[in-house]
Amino acid sequence: MAVIKMNFLSQALNMQTNITVVLPTFSFADSMEGIGASYLPGMKYQVLYLLHGGMGDDSDYVNFTNIVRYADKHKLAVVMPAANNSSYTDYDGTDFYTYISEELPKLCETMFPVSSQREDTFIGGLSMGSHGAMKIAMNHPERFAAVLLMSGASYRPGVPSVVKTVDGTFHFDVDIAVPLKSSLQAKLDDPEYIRDTVNDVYSIARRNAQEGKRLPTVFIRVGDCDHALYRTIQAEKDLKEWGYDTRMEIVPGKGHDWDFWDESLRIAISGWLPLRHQAIYPQNEKTEENK
């Protein structure tokens, strides 16, 4: 398994930025199973663009989960960009939405052996990253076969953070995400600001279904002790009503933490996402084990 840390100048961001990329290679597990290495020109991997949460960066998943091991086992490339506390939004001259949705895929498809085909391309994220993943997937349904939302969904004006109490009721908590409160968040909470823009995610999602576009499958996992539970439930309810293929799991006793997100990644990569679990070889080429 190769773990690549790359720094480069982003045109969309007008600054240097980091990405961490995980690429499968011949592994010890392969050798134990008698699988020989088959590196052929033109081979590619399915790819998951994996977005971090608030106050995180591109190193979070490598530091706090087993994403490297999961990706290696299932022959999946994983691209993890850094996006500050941007909510994956173009704002104030720093275009993180454009960077993640347009510039980053072009860069990766040029520099790394990742597939550009829709059936091989997925996006996911946790917390703030779930907002970004859903936003990008709904604005580009032609490019993503599936989206993974962990502990959240895209922001929507009028749907504040809530927490679940021990008796099963919900109560609103306007201070739950104080560290992330900003002028940008205030904008995203304004219906007039997001109207007719890429930030109007739910209107776009509904219109995609009405227009008969190919819709990504939506996988959602959230704990019943998570402050994002209410927003997540509402998102899944609407998406399913509009015709999206959704799979949601609400996990008892789980909150907003890395143990839960690591478990969610393992479940998604091992079973939920439509993975080949092997490299994609050029047509008419055969791997050593299939000769």
Map out the domains of the chain with their CATH numbers: 2-290 (3.40.50.1820)
Which residue in the block uniquely carries the two structure tokens 């989206």? 147
Rounded to the nearest integer, the mean pLDDT of the chain is 90
Higher pLDDT, 26 or 229: 229
At residue 287, the pLDDT reads 47
Share of the chain above pLDDT 90, in %: 78
Distance of alpha carbon 250 from alpha carbon 163, whole angstroms = 14
Pure H helices in 156-276: 183-188, 191-194, 201-210, 229-242, 258-267
* SS3 assignment, position 61: helix
Which tens digit of pLDDT belongs to each residue from 120-169?
Answer: 999 999 999 999 999 999 999 999 999 999 999 999 987 766 666 656 66
At residue 185, the pLDDT reads 80
Entry field: residues in the chain = 291
Distance of alpha carbon 194 from alpha carbon 39, whole angstroms = 46
Of the pLDDT bands very low, low, confident and very high (cuts 50, 70, 90), residue 283 is confident
Higher pLDDT, 79 or 38: 79
* SS3 assignment, position 96: helix
Of the pLDDT bands very low, low, confident and very high (cuts 50, 70, 90), residue 32 is confident
- Sign of the alpha-carbon dihedral angle for 50, 56, 59, 61: negative
- Find, among 71, 28, 25, 77, the residue nearest to 269 by Cα: 71
Q: At what angle do helices 258-267 and 67-74 cross, to 10 degrees?
A: 0
Which whole number is the average pLDDT over 243-268?
Answer: 97
